[in-house]
Chains A and B, each alone.
With several copies, the nearest count.
Chain A
Amino acid sequence: MKRIYLDYSATTPVKKEILEEMLPYFTEKFGNPSSIHKFGRDAKAKVNEAREKVAKLIGANVNEIYFTAGGTESDNWALKATAYDMRNRNKKNHIITSKIEHHAILHTCEVLEKDGFEVTYLDVDKYGSINLEDLKNSIKENTFMISIMFVNNEIGTIQPVKEIGKIAKENGILFHTDAVQAVGNVHIDVNDLNIDMLSMSSHKIYGPKGVGALFVRKGTRITPFIHGGAQEKQRRAGTENVPSIIGFGKAAEIALENLDMHIDKLTYLREKLKDGIMNNVSHVIYNGHPEKRHPGNVNLCFQFIEGEAMLLSLDIVGVAASSGSACTSGSLDPSHVLMALGLGHEYTNGSLRLTVGDFTTEEDIDYVLEKMPVIIDRLRQMSPLYEQIEGGNN
């Protein structure tokens, strides 16, 4: 069976040319970059090449990029290291973030709260955007950081990052952004946007899993989160994941080269997918911002049916998707992001995320559009909720 992958926001395949760049560094050129001998020097040189490529993708300087094991570690590092350092040195202990951050931010903030930090979780409007006045009003004497994600992973909404950066700068507050979903999908210039720290992850941009980076603006203090050897200018210990870093670098290079084409293609496919569903299925809502969104993200709530049942049904016909329903994750609560939009359970339980990517074709979309109404209808026919409104409303 042909398998159609519409879950590019969960992870992406590694592109062939990226894997090829990595391969020699597993077997022949396997040195430890800290070693003085040729194996080590070769590895070190390639790691720094990769660093340059990653820096370029976000308009940063090569010295401002620190490699990590992924987006989650970058988020943990940026928040925790800064928090304790700020409290120790400046007696500041307040962070502003939003209700729709990734758990890498939210759970880190919860842990910090338990340890005496204060956290403000900003509300979002129905499109998932924070309100800039709210942000300004929440700034206090002891605020040391604003951490607002660039692009939301579920609903795709792009936050007003430039305005946030401006507010942060005017108030002398650090601005961190979780840009895991943004990098490679929107144009980013950390200088233009006044970003002080930015988290990224390779496996969302066709690079390998298990590697990411934290951008830290020159002059911004960052203490280590993982202690040990002197790697990454003594900021992040642990033998460098050389092949993966090289892959991440190549992925960044390709992402930059293709950015406009990538955005255009994804936007076209996304609109086709979204319109095709919205025009052929009733009782659906389209979540996130209509324009200011991830080019590949379609997030829908189907009434009367449950997300996991949709996922399974799609999987059976070869389509891979994602859902924010509670049942999908085995959690008690459905997606905190959908809840923050003000949606009731009758919507949030029926959520579906379809994300298109570089290998998605128009035929893939046609196929999904053909299957989707059938799947939705079958599940609705089984639903006691649909039964009630079927006569009058359909």
Chain B
Amino acid sequence: MYNDKVMDHFMNPRNVGVIENPSGVGEVGNVSCGDIMKIYLLIDDNDVIVDIKFKTFGCGSAIASSSIATVMIKGKTVSEALKLTNKDVLDELGGLPAVKIHCSVLAEQALKAAVLDYANKTGKHYPELDGFEPDDGHDDHGLVQIEF
């Protein structure tokens, strides 16, 4: 079902945890969607994300996507990081099952929410965030139902 890389990031997720005095925090999803991701960012004066931590409630894909996304984000400037798409996450993971694609959207959204928090706190403006609504659900699940 999942490839080795996904399983590795699920079992040994990188950057799990909390940052004590974060530059920004973002949380997306809700329990009725089945997954929630919370991202903590530490951003330095050059706008570089020097540290990132996450907590995720969700399935294997959600956790693995969260983990790999933080690895990809860490060390980037905020603007670079905001270019991250769920497609990049998917590619880096080497793919997810079709019904799980939506999980890769989570990290992209959570990052945006955290940067928005940072922007709000600092008064900065990131054009990449224009139009971003942190509470947009991601109800693009498939419709497969299995039961036995």
List the interface of chain A (C-beta within 8 A of B): 9-11, 32, 34-36, 41, 102-103, 153-154, 229-231, 234, 239, 304-309, 312-313, 316, 322, 325-332, 334-335, 344-346, 349, 381-385, 387
Contacts and interface: CB of A to CB of B under 8 A. Distances in A.
Contacts of B37: 384
A387 B31 contact: no
Given A234-B144, A387-B18, 15 more contacts: A11-B148, A231-B146, A305-B57, A309-B10, A312-B60, A327-B58, A327-B62, A331-B142, A332-B143, A345-B32, A349-B31, A349-B34, A381-B16, A382-B16, A382-B63
B99 interface: yes
Contacts of A344: 31
Given A304-B57, A309-B59, A312-B10, A385 B147 contact: no
Nearest to A34: B146
Contacts of B62: 306, 309, 327
Contacts of B34: 306, 325-327, 334, 345, 349
A230 B13 contact: no
Contacts of A34: 146-148
17 contacts: A9-B148, A312-B7, A312-B59, A312-B60, A327-B61, A327-B100, A329-B144, A329-B145, A330-B98, A330-B146, A332-B139, A332-B143, A345-B31, A382-B16, A384-B37, A384-B38, A387-B18
A308 B60 contact: yes
A327 to B, nearest CB: 4
B51 to A, nearest CB: 17
B123 interface: no
A36, A230, A332, A385: residue with the most chain B Cβ atoms closer than 10 Å: A332
Nearest to A9: B148
Interface residues of B, number: 38
A337 B13 CA distance: 32
A231, A304, A344, A384: residue with the most chain B Cβ atoms closer than 10 Å: A384
B36 A230 contact: no
A375 B56 CA distance: 15
A393 to B, nearest CB: 16
B11 interface: yes
B141 interface: yes
A331 B10 contact: no
B131 interface: no
B34, B36, B37, B98: residue with the most chain A Cβ atoms closer than 10 Å: B34
B148 A306 contact: no
Interface in B1-55: 1-2, 7, 10-11, 13, 16, 18, 27, 31-32, 34-38, 55
A306 B36 CA distance: 10
Nearest to B56: A382
B97 interface: yes
B142 to A, nearest CB: 5
A281 to B, nearest CB: 17
Contacts of A230: 144-147
A308 B63 CA distance: 11
A42 B38 CA distance: 34
B31 A346 contact: yes
A229 B27 contact: no
A391 to B, nearest CB: 12
B57 A229 contact: no
A331 B57 CA distance: 17
The 4 closest A-B pairs by CB, nearest first: A330-B99, A327-B59, A308-B59, A384-B38
B55 A382 contact: yes
Nearest to A154: B147
A36 B1 contact: yes
B55 A329 contact: no
Nearest to A334: B34
Contacts of B98: 330
Contacts of B148: 9-11, 32, 34-35, 153, 229, 239, 322
Interface in B124-148: 139, 141-148
A329 B13 CA distance: 23
A32 B147 CA distance: 10
A383 B141 contact: no
Interface in B79-130: 97-100
B119 to A, nearest CB: 21
A13 to B, nearest CB: 15
B45 to A, nearest CB: 28
A328 B100 CA distance: 10
A383 B139 contact: no
